[in-house]
Structure formats: structure tokens, C-alpha cells
A and B are shown apart, each in its own frame.
Chain A
Amino acid sequence: MESIGNLGRILMVEDDSKDVELTLTALEEYNLANEVVVTRDGEQALDYLYCRGVYKLRSPENPAVILLDLKLPKVDGLEVLKKIKSDNRLKLIPVVVLTSSKEEKDMVASYKLGVNAYVVKPVEFHEFVNAIRELGVFWAVINEPPPGSIRK
């Protein structure tokens, strides 16, 4: 598989380990998995974004894109989204909600908070892989992230 240069870092916020593995597998098929940081709840994701806790020593650039699940332990996805979009240093990071929920009210709430894209995880795996690949390619490769993002 051709390797894609100039790859942005992806921050994935997902509590379900099976979903994490599926997503990583899907990204791996297109060599997009190397630069994925996985956080397992909203609190960890915010720790990562604010370089605190276990992420105290990470390089301070922002990820090129955040893949955000909505149903998360501790701090849920919408709260994380709200926090990101109301913080001047973080609000430029593209956020893609990646969720099981097709509920309109989640969708409306996410867009109101300024989400950049809303993707419902398809049940069928190849569709799921396609969706993840397109997301990965678009946000981590094609899209020019705002200044201050990590690029290899």
C-alpha cells in the first residue's frame, strides 16, 4: 500500500476497546494508524488536549483532527466538544463526531456546538472501513489543518 506522507495526528476519543481496534484496523489498511492517539474517556481527552496528567510531557502541538464518540464515561462527548469549541487555543481543531447514534437531537446538539462533521458508524464493516478511511484521508491528509497542528 502506498505510504501517505505529511500525515496529521489523529486524536481518537473512544471508550469501547472493540471499536478502538476496529477503527485502528480500518486505518491500518491505509497506513493511517501510526499517528493515532487513543484516549478512553472525555477526561483523558481533555488531559491530552491541555497537556496535563499523563500527557504532561507530550509535544504541545494540537492534533490535526479529533474523532470523538458521544457516549463516554466521566465527561461525555458533547461536553468535550463544548469545551474544545469554547477554548480559543483549541477551537480551530477540526472535530468529527463518530458515533453509533443516529438520533437527531445528538446531531443538532453537535452542530450547534460547532462540530466539523458528524458521522454515524455504519453497521457493516466494509462501510465502516470506508467511512474511517475517508475520514482519515480527508482530515489527516487532504485537509490543511490550522497552524499549530502536528504534521509529520
Chain B
Amino acid sequence: MRRAIPGSNLTNRIHESQPLRYGLGVSTFLIATCVAMFAYKIGIRNLQIPFYLFAIAITAWYAGRGPAIVSVVLSILFFDYYFTEPRFTFYVTVAEIPYFAVFAAFALLVAWFSTVRRRVEVELRQARDHLQSVNEELARRSAEVEATNKELEAFAYSISHDLRAPLRHMAGYTELLQRKAAANLDEKSNRFIAMILDSAKKMGNLIDDLLAFSRIGRAETQKSQVNLTQLVKDVLNEVRPEIEGRDITWKIGDLPEVYGDRSMLRVALVNLLSNAVKFTRTRQRAEIEIGATLENGSDPVVFVKDNGVGFDMQYANKLFGVFQRLHSSDVFEGTGIGLATVQRIMHRHGGRVWAQSAPDQGATFYFSAPRSRGTEWNPSVI
């Protein structure tokens, strides 16, 4: 897992072995001594100290603090013994003390620099190793997620295919039975057959909705500028069959252009509008308003407001869950997936959806939409 920084192999090897480190310290000292003695012999008398400093620097750099200190001590002792008068004694005159002190201080400074540099390198290496292990973990996770997604896709595919076939057979043969035998059956039996057919139809819707829901999560979003006014018009045409014979007053305000996936936003609007249509069914005169609050600098918030049966805000958290329903399916039909789909669409756009209502007071659904590419979603709560 640990990969060496290029060129630092030798450094690492030296650093991991005590004998090598101190060996390096002593060897550089000996080499410096030889060079210094040679220079002394040929008459160069004042250059001994730089040779030793050089040796100390190399030792500190490659072998660390301990060998560097040993090197400093050896250098001072040998320098005193061999090169300073009186020679071949350790005698130090008072005048020489500052000289030795400066030498020692300078040597220690070099050693300290090297040590700091070494510590930084070690930290860097640890950080790099950590980063690498995090990266590996990340790659592993993403492979896992991908596998899970594939599995989910296969699962959805098999639902689409294998669940629908037997359902179609149930519905088909029941309807055939109904045609053949309806005349000979009593009212109750005919009602039973109608119930079977009704349930099969519901199950079909459920499968379709569930698949649509899972597709929202899987599909790539294709974003562009979407004219919401136009989109709402299209959606109204789509829900028109549902509102045949109903008295509905539509109020459509100024709607912004937003940046998003047109077909997903369309699905979201279809769900919100047909919900508004559905839950105002008990009203003599339904009023549905679609509008937007546009504030400078923040993303527009679009709302769909109705005067329908509404709901109790204490159940608001259940509103957007899959299969969650706040009304009995006998009163208001549905699969309980529509708003979950809306929420998923908004999440895929980085936005959110929320609602405001009270029982019998109508409901208002809001969603935030980005105005254009790159603008942040503003999850402001109303």
C-alpha cells in the first residue's frame, strides 16, 4: 500500500535501520576528517570547519537527529584534538570558546532544520497514505453502489416483465369469464368478478407507478431551460380527461423559466396537478392556482394551491413517502407513489418540495426550481 516517493528509497532504507543511520553519521565524519587532514597537509589551514559542517548536514539530512548530534560531538572533539593549537590535546583556550560555540550552534541549527524537514516528510507520507486508503475505500464503495444499482435495475426489469404477465392473465381470463358467464351469474357473483378486475387494474397501476418511481432514480437527467408556462399548458391538456364534467377555476400566474429535466419536471407537475384535481373532487367549485414567488437573487418557488380537502399538518412528514396515503383509497384512489416521485424528481434537481395545509382548508404544494444553469437552489422555507 505504501508507495515510496520517487528518489527517496535510499533515504527510507537508511531511516529504518539504526546501525545504518549511525554508520552514515560516523562515515561522513571520517570522510570529512580525511579531507580536512589532507587539506591541512597541503597547507590549507582554515577550511576544516566547513568540511565538518558539510558532513553534519549530510548526516542530519539522511540519518536524522541522533547521528547528527553524534557527528557534531565527534567533529568538535576531533577538531579540538587535531586542528587547534595546542595540537593532540583537548585543551581549549578561552579565546576559542566562542568559536566552538558558534560552530556547535550552527551545527545544531543544521541538524534541527533537517529534523523538521524529515518530520514534514513523514507527515506528508502519512497524509498521502491516508488519502490513498480513503481513495481505495471510495473506489470500493462506488463499485458496490454500481453493483447495487445494476441489481436494482435487474430487479425493476423483472418486476416490469414477470409481474405484469400473470396480472395480465388474471385480468384477461377474468374478463373472458365475465363475457361468457355474466348472463348466467347472479348479481353478487358479477360483483365479485368486477372486484377482481378492479384489483387487477389497481395492481397494474401500482406496478407502473413503482417502475416510474424507480426510473426517476436511475435515469440520467437531461437539463435545459424549461418554460414552465408552456409546460403547465401541456400538462393541463394531459389531465383534461380527468376533469371532464368538473367545475374547476384555474388561476395560472406568471411562471418562470427554470433549468431542469423537462420530462421529469413534467412528471412532477402532472402529479401535483392531478393531485389538486383529485382532492378537490368533493368541492362544488374547485379552485386551483398555479403560481410562483419570484424574489431577486433567489431561485423561484413554484406553488400549486387548491381548495380541496387538505390534510392535517401532523402527517406532513408522511406525505412524500412511498406507499404513504393520508386518505382511504376508497375515498380518493391512488397508489401513494405520486408525491414520492415528485420529491425524488426535486431531489435529483437539488431542490425540494414541501406542503402547507389544514384539514378541509385546501393544500398548497411548493417546490423550488433553479432559474438557470449554475444557480444554486435556494431551499428557503415559506
Contacts and interface: CB of A to CB of B under 8 A. Distances in A.
A100 B173 contact: no
B366 to A, nearest CB: 31
A101 interface: yes
B165 A16 contact: yes
B157 interface: yes
A40 B229 CA distance: 51
A132 to B, nearest CB: 11
Nearest to B163: A100
Interface residues of A, number: 19
B164 A100 contact: yes
B168 A123 contact: yes
A118 B111 CA distance: 80
Contacts, number: 56
B168 A128 contact: yes
Given A123-B201, A123-B204, A126-B175, A100 B161 contact: yes
Interface string B241-279: 000000000000000000000000000000000000000
Contacts of B120: none
Interface stretch (A4-12, A18-26, A60-68, A80-88): A18-26
A18 B204 CA distance: 18
A124 B203 CA distance: 11
B345 interface: no
B164 A123 contact: yes
B110 interface: no
Nearest to A16: B165
B160 A100 contact: yes
Given A100-B160, A102-B160, A22 B201 contact: no
Interface in B52-88: none
A10 to B, nearest CB: 19
B176 A125 contact: yes
A71 B175 contact: no
Interface in A1-54: 16, 18-19, 22, 25
Given A16-B165, A124-B204, A103 B171 contact: no
A22 B172 contact: yes
A125 B164 contact: no
B200 A123 contact: yes
A133 interface: no
9 contacts: A18-B169, A22-B169, A100-B161, A100-B165, A102-B208, A123-B164, A125-B171, A125-B175, A125-B176
Given A22-B172, A124-B175, A125-B171, 20 more contacts: A16-B165, A18-B173, A19-B165, A19-B168, A19-B169, A99-B161, A100-B161, A100-B165, A101-B161, A102-B160, A121-B168, A123-B168, A123-B171, A123-B201, A123-B204, A124-B171, A124-B200, A124-B201, A124-B204, A128-B168
Interface of A: 16, 18-19, 22, 25, 71, 99-104, 121-126, 128
